């Protein structure tokens, strides 16, 4: 299982909903969690490993040293706060960069768990809040670059070009020249 790296057009595809009971998702999610931990990520969306289905894995529990990955199938933001917060964000598909990305301060996300039972996540002002929005963007074919205004995007793409030329790998949050 390999991480798809931007600007691969695979990352810009809108993913299809997971069919109820599609057990391949459970197997794939286990592998995805391994890839996520191995590369020091806190979230990974299926299209980042070349699968165009709507599911994500994440582990935003920074207090807990034990890996506790969560699988969320067909996630959807059903409600959000009133404010936008900008903060530094990385992506395993965009190695070597940390970008200031605007996100909702709070979100309510629904979806299905590994038993295909409905779950709800409410997150406010924390890593989970940001991670959920980031990973759901991936399912809609959006990377961090598409969240930036045109000028910031040009600067970020230039920085990214530099990072790639200097051998940035998934999990790198900056480039040491
Ligand atoms: Ni990402």
pLDDT tens-place string over residues 106-132: 999 999 999 999 999 999 999 999 999
Q: How far apart are CA 116 and CA 156, in angstroms?
A: 38
Average model confidence (pLDDT) for the chain?
95
Lowest-confidence segment of 7-11, 61-65, 78-82, 98-102 by average pLDDT? 61-65
Look at residue 23 and tell me whether its pLDDT is greater than 70: yes
CB atoms within 10 A of CB 107: 21
Q: How far apart are CA 150 and CA 72, in angstroms?
A: 31
CB atoms within 10 A of CB 125: 13
Which DSSP string do the residues of 88-102 spell out, in sequence order?
Answer: EE--TTSTT--EEEE
State pLDDT tens for residues 130-156. 999 999 999 999 999 999 999 999 999
Residue 63, token pair as written in the block: 């207090």
Mean pLDDT value of segment 38-49: 96
Q: How far apart are CA 156 and CA 159, in angstroms?
A: 5
Instruction: Confirm if 117 and 98 have CB atoms less than 8 A apart.
Output: no
Look at residue 176 and tell me whether its pLDDT is greater than 70: no
The rounded Å distance from CA 23 to ligand 1 centre is: 24
CB-proximal residues (5 Å) to ion ligand 1: 91
Known catalytic residues? 135
The rounded Å distance from CA 149 to ligand 1 centre is: 18
Say what the pTM is.
Answer: 0.95
Q: pLDDT band at 27, cuts 50/70/90? A: very high
Q: How far apart are CA 132 and CA 107, in angstroms?
A: 8
Strand ranges, E, within 27-69: 43-45, 55-58
The rounded Å distance from CA 72 to ligand 1 centre is: 15
Helix boundaries (H) for the chain: 24-38, 127-139, 150-165
Dihedral of CA atoms 6, 109, 171, 154 in degrees, nearest 10, equals 40
Q: How far apart are CA 113 and CA 159, in angstroms?
A: 37
The reported pLDDT for the residue numbered 175 is 77
The rounded Å distance from CA 138 to ligand 1 centre is: 7
H or E element: which one contains 73? strand 70-80
Residue count (the chain): 177
Percent of the chain with pLDDT strictly greater than 90: 89
The reported pLDDT for the residue numbered 177 is 54
The candidate with the shortest Cα–Cα distance to 36, out of 135, 121, 133, 108, is: 135
């Amino acid at each position: 299982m390999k991480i798809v790296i931007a600007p691969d057009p695979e990352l810009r595809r809108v993913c299809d909903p997971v069919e109820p009971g599609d057990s391949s998702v459970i197997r794939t999610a286990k592998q995805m969690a391994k890839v996520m931990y191995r590369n020091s990520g806190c979230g990974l969306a299926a299209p980042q490993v070349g699968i165009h289905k709507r599911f994500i894995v994440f582990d935003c529990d920074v207090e807990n040293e034990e890996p506790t990955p969560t699988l969320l199938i067909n996630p959807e933001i059903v409600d959000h706060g009133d404010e936008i917060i900008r903060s530094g964000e990385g992506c395993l598909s965009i190695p070597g960069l940390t970008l200031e990305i605007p996100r909702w301060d709070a979100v309510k996300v629904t979806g299905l768990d590994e038993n295909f039972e409905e779950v709800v996540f409410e997150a406010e002002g924390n890593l989970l809040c940001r991670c959920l929005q980031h990973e759901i963007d991936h399912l809609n074919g959006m990377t961090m670059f598409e969240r930036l205004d045109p000028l910031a995007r040009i600067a970020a793409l230039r920085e990214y070009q530099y990072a790639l030329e200097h051998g940035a790998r998934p999990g790198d949050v900056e480039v040491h020249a």
